[in-house]
């Protein structure tokens, strides 16, 4: 079982249990989006000592928790789980606790470190040209691109910011768009 040096921030006890089935790691539970200052302090301390990976559910509350922690504790790493890999087979549940061990391992292998790096060559014009903004299939294309790049689901406004924050190069972006377009052509 792979050992993860960083402390993984998850939403709850069920997420912790599932992560520990997949990897040898320590976790901090946010216990929902009303994150207490004491929890933020524990995350801040963990980041200073070992580093932190934020690994929240691929839904609106999970994204809210990710944003709150990212703002309060800059410099955390991020792992994303695609929605289709986080669905329960038995009910309508969605979350890390429903993912397979393999899906969790894959998400934790593809960790991103946020950076406010300037000069990334991807522009809004690129997004429009590739049909990621304003087109009839834009939402579906953004969802699939988020899966391919392992950066999570985004809306039109979030996409360029997330590509920039995760330092996705124009070359990597174009390569993934080629894969996406080929998949569409094969349908």
Predicted confidence pLDDT, tens digits, the chain (187 residues):
899 999 999 999 999 999 999 999 999 999 887 899 999 999 999 999 999 999 999 888 998 898 899 889 988 999 998 888 888 877 778 899 999 999 999 999 988 776 544 444 688 888 988 999 988 889 999 999 999 998 888 888 889 888 877 878 888 898 999 999 999 988 7
Assess whether 74 and 166 both reside in one domain.
no
Domain housing 158:
124-186
Domain annotation covers residue 1: no
What 3-state DSSP class applies to 115?
A: coil
SS3 3: strand
pLDDT confidence of residue 117: 41
Does the model's pTM come out above 0.75?
Answer: no
Q: End of a domain among 113, 146, 166?
A: 113
d(CA 187, CA 185): 6
Residue 11 resides in a domain: yes
Q: 134-138, long-range: CB within 8 Å, 24+ apart, which pairs?
A: 137/184
Number of folded domains that form the chain: 2
Are 100 and 27 found together in one domain? yes
Q: How many angstroms separate the first and last alpha carbons of the chain?
A: 37
User: What gap in Å lies between CA 174 and CA 156, rounded to an integer?
Assistant: 17
């Amino acid at each position: 079982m792979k050992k993860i040096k960083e402390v993984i921030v998850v939403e709850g006890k069920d997420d912790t249990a599932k992560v520990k089935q997949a990897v040898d790691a320590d976790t901090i539970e946010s216990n929902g989006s009303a994150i207490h200052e004491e929890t933020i302090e524990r995350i801040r301390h963990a980041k200073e000592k070992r580093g932190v990976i934020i690994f929240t559910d691929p839904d609106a509350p999970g994204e809210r928790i990710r944003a709150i922690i990212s703002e309060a504790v800059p410099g955390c790493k991020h792992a994303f789980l695609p929605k289709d890999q986080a669905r329960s087979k038995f009910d309508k549940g969605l979350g890390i606790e429903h993912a397979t061990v393999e899906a969790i391992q894959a998400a934790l292998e593809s960790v991103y470190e946020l950076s406010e790096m300037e000069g990334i060559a991807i522009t809004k014009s690129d997004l429009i040209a590739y049909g990621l903004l304003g087109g009839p299939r834009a939402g579906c294309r953004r969802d699939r691109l988020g899966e391919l790049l392992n950066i999570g689901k985004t809306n039109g406004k979030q996409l360029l910011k997330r590509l920039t924050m995760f330092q996705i190069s124009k070359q990597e972006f174009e390569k993934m768009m080629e894969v996406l377009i080929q998949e569409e052509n094969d349908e």
